[in-house]
Amino acid sequence: MSPFDPTREDRFTFGLWTVGNPGADPFGARVRPTMPPPYIVQKLAECGAYGVNLHDDDLVPFGASAAERDRIVREFQRALADHGMQVPMATTNLFSHPVFKDGAFTANDPKVRAFALQKTMRAMDLGAELGAKIYVFWGGREGVEADACRDPRTAWQRMRDAIDFLCGYCRDNGYGMKFALEAKPNEPRGDIYLPTTGHMLHFISTLQHQEMVGVNPEVAHEVMAGLSFAHNVAEAMACGKLFHIDLNGQKIGRYDQDLRFGSEDQKGAFLLVRLLEGTLGGEPYRGPLHFDAHAYRSEDEDGVWEFARGCMRTYKILKHKAQAFDADPEVREILAEQRDDTIDPLLVGGYSEAKATALRALDLDVDALARRGLRYERLDQLLVEHLLGVRG
């Protein structure tokens, strides 16, 4: 067994909708047949995944009878037990059905908003039955093309009302779930409300039960907005709000590609894994590592499992490289060069009169500071050499 083969301890998860993606796109039909959810569970377990996540409709087709639902859920639970798989996260499909064409929680028609809450309550019941402790909200249709249809502040308030209500529902039922809000700037809508993780973090601070709400950032979504994914994730971690994460690959300036993790922008992926694993010294992320991606349209079923194994292997390879990079004596030396143990304590923990006095008294050679080279060219080259496998 290779050290990069995934095991349950790695906490890797996939959505039913990810490996189950049949490869349709806006210009072409599906290229792969549908796989039954219990079969997906079995195959993911064989690949070394820890768990599987789902939307309500991924498992129970929209409009199924109560008896049919119960039979499907029972069979799924049997597959989970047989293969030792977990369902750490569940979510609601509030974007596929035509009823959501004007949004779900933000739609102008209150009947649509009421249906969105009904559907989410039912989907939360399902998630709870399967043991999910994280509940994701991706508002894919919560946006506009015809911006004149509502005051954007109204959309914001409706979103807040919906999440406040559902927090209450979750608490009332003792489900013990945490909510993770997922941002995206556009697609399928021209503009989606709350477009980045940073927007979500502020939105959360206005909620009634903000302690139970965090974020689910996705690589592709922040890269589409031209942002540094690692910086967004770092902000969420610093706020104690990284409750879940959607890993994949994306080229800037494209549609939402949801590519195999690490298949694009290996430097960005490296810096992300370094952050999540805390190899530089910070607190690591300990939640599930979810791949929200799918195989190329060129693939048959074998290609899908190759894709799944690739996501997990690349994560582990990058983890190994991040550990080697942060243990590299030359890297450590460059990072240590600018430390100053007498000045640093003056700059943290807020104001005091004593600190102000000490700061005023410091004799700083600004010209020397301005002249000094910081050796970041060397640092970055070391990173590249670690990544390209000629060092460490």
What are the residues binding ligand GLT (CB under 6 A)? 17, 55, 91, 136, 138, 182, 218, 246, 292
Residue nearer to ligand GLT on the CB measure, 94 or 312 = 94
Exactly one of 58, 102, 142, 246 binds Mn ion (CB under 5 A); that residue is 246
Scan for tokens 């979810």, then name that residue.
Answer: 290
Binding to Mn ion (CB under 5 A) within 216-245 occurs at: 218, 220
Min. distance of Cβ 248 from ligand GLT in angstroms?
8
Min. distance of Cβ 182 from Mn ion in angstroms?
5
**Which one from 58, 102, 265, 292 is the annotated catalytic residue?**
58
272 near 250, Cβ under 8 Å?
no
Residue nearer to ligand GLT on the CB measure, 218 or 277 = 218
Cα separation of 75 and 77, whole Å?
A: 5
Report what 274 binds from ligand GLT, Mn ion, none; CB cut-off 5-8 Å by kind: none
55 is catalytic: yes
Using alpha carbons, list the distances in angstroms from residue 136 to 69, 91, 93, 304, 385.
Answer: 21, 5, 10, 24, 38
Report what 17 binds from ligand GLT, Mn ion, none; CB cut-off 5-8 Å by kind: ligand GLT
Using CB atoms within 10 Å of the CB of residue 111, give its burial: 0 to 12 exposed, 13 to 18 middle, 19+ buried: exposed
Min. distance of Cβ 346 from Mn ion in angstroms?
42
Name the residue with the smallest CB distance to ligand GLT. Answer: 138
Please give the structure tokens belonging to residue 298: 């060129």
Distance of CA 276 to the CA centre of its chain: 12
Number of Cα atoms under 13 Å in the Cβ half of residue 133: 7
Report what 382 binds from ligand GLT, Mn ion, none; CB cut-off 5-8 Å by kind: none
Q: Is 45 helix (H, G, I), strand (E, B) or coil?
A: helix
Number of Cα atoms under 13 Å in the Cβ half of residue 169: 18
301 near 252, Cβ under 8 Å?
no
Min. distance of Cβ 258 from Mn ion in angstroms?
5
Please give the structure tokens belonging to residue 195: 């477009």
The closest of 72, 67, 41, 34 to 56, measured between CA atoms, is: 72
Cα separation of 124 and 212, whole Å?
A: 15
The stretch among 107-115, 202-210, 292-300, 380-388 that binds Mn ion (CB under 5 A) is 292-300
Return the ∠ at Cα 18 (arms to 12 and 21), rounded to 5°: 155
**Which one from 5, 10, 25, 55 is the annotated catalytic residue?**
55
Min. distance of Cβ 82 from Mn ion in angstroms?
28
Please give the structure tokens belonging to residue 129: 């039955």
Residue nearer to ligand GLT on the CB measure, 54 or 322 = 54
Q: Rounded to 5 degrees, what are φ and ψ at 211?
A: -65, -25
Per CB under 5 A, does 308 bind Mn ion? no
Residue nearer to Mn ion on the CB measure, 58 or 292 = 292
70 is catalytic: no
Per CB under 5 A, does 292 bind Mn ion? yes
Min. distance of Cβ 127 from ligand GLT in angstroms?
12
Residue nearer to ligand GLT on the CB measure, 221 or 386 = 221
Residue nearer to ligand GLT on the CB measure, 187 or 385 = 187
Report what 136 binds from Mn ion, ligand GLT, none; CB cut-off 5-8 Å by kind: ligand GLT
**Residue-by-residue DSSP string for 271-326:** HHHHHHHTTTSSPPP-S-EEE-----TT--HHHHHHHHHHHHHHHHHHHHHHHHHH
Residue nearer to Mn ion on the CB measure, 218 or 326 = 218
Exactly one of 102, 142, 222, 258 binds Mn ion (CB under 5 A); that residue is 258
Min. distance of Cβ 292 from ligand GLT in angstroms?
5
44 near 10, Cβ under 8 Å?
no
Burial 273-308 (b: 16+ CB within 10 A, else e): bbbbbebeeeeebebbbbbbbbbeeebeeebbbebb
By the criterion CB under 5 A, which residues form the site for Mn ion? 218, 220, 246, 256, 258, 292
* Residues acting as catalytic residues: 55, 58
